Structure 1
């Protein structure tokens, strides 16, 4: 893996991880919320086996990347374009998980270089007509997004407390800290090496504070800066019915509102298990976009 800092057109810095097959087709991956771009080697191996080059980065305000207060979801597109220019990449596909999904969709809508995008456990824009946005979420997510809807003055101290609790937990204790968000199918995969990586990536995300997390939550609960109707590239959506972080109703709503989307609703999966179990076939789909 190669790590580098890319200076963006507005002077900010984005910390980038360049991994997988160096000669392969490029997948730009957008991490969840909170999170960092730190790759998980077994997942990278699945991409490398398929001839894919995996480019990840710490979104603005996370890890080693400069914050961009007030950013919208669509603001990620010029950041991605600047990273691709630095890497001398002309075409790519996008992949997002959870909080990375809106950013992946933004690339599908606004980036001419993007050939297709996949999303795993994607939230809808807020508000979404006909959808009770918070219904079905675990208690911790309900509290977090209610704080976001009240504004940064309420959200920031909430996230500082959440980050401190998470940072104090060991990898083995993460499931306890996230108890209201993890159905059994998700708790079962958050163990061993994957739990250790989850903890390491999350610690990196908030090592310099909660600006990235704050700005993600605020961006999700205001206009995203693009319309789903603008998307003109192939979109793949996977959603687990047992998900307590992004309820299945969000996936079903998106399946009805994204033009030409290929949607899969999995009865047996949750928020984490669906990414673990479906990543290989998602990579296959993304590779076929080239």
Structure 2
């Protein structure tokens, strides 16, 4: 595919101006669209069928010809842009020059839970976009069935979250559902054992092999405040990760990676 860069779109081109507005949550809600940046996310968006348009600078077009050819073949509109427009569309310090406009990919609870669901990550009141994206990436890596963000949580489709997911946002069902009670009810209806992570949990992760072999949903608390008391009480088990060194605690993404990995390993043994 040949792209003509003799008259690329500028930062003032209406299509570019509209896309830049998607950096803000209000803009995403109004348009029903969101932006992703970088080859991993753009390629995954195209494969999912979520990408509608791709903006590309001349240098990026030279680096990603196969990706652009595949996108064009899939019916995605490709727009050459100036370097300055590429910087306006990006939200990184060193832009890749490759940005896609995408249809929403978040699903509802029913779309994330079914009779075959065995492992679910449930981040509660996650406030850091980078953590949200990393939690999605971790869940994808261990083969979890879905990620359900609940409570007052960051938008998993904002630029930083999508980028931190490294494309995983498009690989598995992701939910953003405010009402925590609805999420717990949905997990129970599917017969999932609900486990809360807690520094003072009565059960050690080392001792939880038999529990983890069952269909499981993990509740992960807010970065600063952990899980609310009502969710700790609702859970079937409260599990802590043994810390044998001198570190006071583990950050959210690290704790989630350890817990989900142990669950995936236990389930694949049975």
Does TM, scored on the shorter chain, surpass 0.5? no
By relative contact order (CA 8 Å, sep 6+), the higher-ranking structure is 1
- Give the structure-1-normalised TM-score: 0.29
- The structure having more radius of gyration, on CA atoms, is 2
- Give the structure-2-normalised TM-score: 0.31
